[in-house]
């Protein structure tokens, strides 16, 4: 081996030894009163930072709601998400147009994810912990909206498809000729 090859081999061995000397991360979580010593932000901090929203305000007379229903309307042109309590009173809502998606971007799966996170954060501030999901429509945002709910930390107790299906009711519009 030439001298250059020996130097490269020695550098590679030194690099692997440095990697092996990395200390393991403590598995213990800090107590409630203590702050994290590592300085890494939590998932909740990253979410608020990612969406650019700081503190969420809620109405003065609002109560803490433990369980509720999420209505997801995923059409071919838009996605709307509404959080309600078990009686049907609206807690929060959001849509792709409200989140500044325009045109064909409103019907994307990413728009549905952002919409669900927006409405979900307000619902979480009202104390919502577990939800039942009712999905309506054939749009692209059905699955991504449910995944976004789970990523927010909400417990999904059930998923129901409430898409209206005609029993050969109204005559459909004429076929498109392109």
H-state helical runs in the chain:
3-20, 43-51, 109-125, 142-151
DSSP annotation of 108 reads S
pLDDT of residue 27: 47
Place of tokens 């042109």: 77
Quick one: pLDDT at residue 11?
72
Rounded Cα distance, 47 and 54, in Å: 10
pLDDT score for 19: 47
Write out the two tokens for 88: 């049907």
Would you state the pLDDT for residue 46? 56
d(CA 73, CA 67): 20
65-161: what fold?
Answer: Nucleotidyltransferase; domain 5 (3.30.420)
The separation between CA 111 and the C-alpha centre of its own chain, rounded to angstroms, equals 11
pLDDT of residue 57: 60
55 vs 77: CA distance, rounded Å? 31
In order along the chain (178 residues), what is the average pLDDT of each group of 10 residues? 71 59 48 54 59 56 82 95 93 93 93 94 91 94 92 94 93 91
| SS3 track for 153-167 | CCEEEEEEECCCCCC
Q: Where are the domains of the chain?
A: 65-161
Per-residue pLDDT, 163:
94
């Amino acid at each position: 081996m030439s001298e250059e090859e020996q130097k490269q081999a020695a550098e590679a061995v030194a690099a692997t030894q440095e990697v092996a000397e990395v200390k393991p991360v403590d598995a213990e979580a800090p107590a409630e009163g203590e702050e994290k010593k590592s300085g890494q932000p939590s998932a909740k901090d990253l979410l608020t930072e990612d969406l650019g929203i700081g503190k969420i305000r809620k109405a003065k007379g609002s109560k803490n709601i433990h369980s509720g229903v999420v209505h997801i309307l995923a059409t071919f042109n838009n996605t709307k998400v509404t959080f309600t309590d078990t009686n049907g009173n609206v807690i929060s809502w959001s849509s792709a147009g409200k989140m500044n998606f325009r045109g064909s971007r409103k019907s994307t799966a990413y728009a549905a994810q952002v919409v669900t996170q927006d409405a979900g954060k307000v619902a979480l501030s009202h104390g919502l912990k577990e939800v039942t999901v009712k999905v309506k429509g054939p749009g692209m945002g059905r699955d991504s909206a449910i995944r976004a709910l789970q990523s927010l930390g909400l417990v999904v107790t059930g998923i129901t498809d409430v898409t209206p299906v005609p029993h050969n009711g109204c005559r459909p519009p004429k076929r498109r000729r392109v």
